Amino acid sequence: MLTPREYECLQWAARGKSASDTACILGIKSRTVTFHLDNARNKLGVRTKDQAVALLASSLPSFL
């Protein structure tokens, strides 16, 4: 199960935001965003951030 922060970072990634953009929005470091995205990728069993976004978007109608 994804943490709220992992989910939040994936939502911003789905909107086309970079780790740096997301970091500014959330008030955290870009490395922390990358950490959350990497954890989400691993938990979802995919290799890329785009695959993680696509997987969530296909399984959750209200994801975006």
Backbone dihedral region for residue 31 (phi beyond 0: left; psi -120 to 50: alpha; all else: beta): alpha
Tell me if the pTM is above 0.85: yes
The count of residues in the chain is 64
d(CA 47, CA 34): 14
Q: For 8-49, how does the pLDDT look when each residue is reduced to its tens digit (9 = 90+)?
A: 999 999 999 999 999 999 999 999 999 999 999 999 999 999
Residues 6+ apart with CB under 8 A from 15: 64
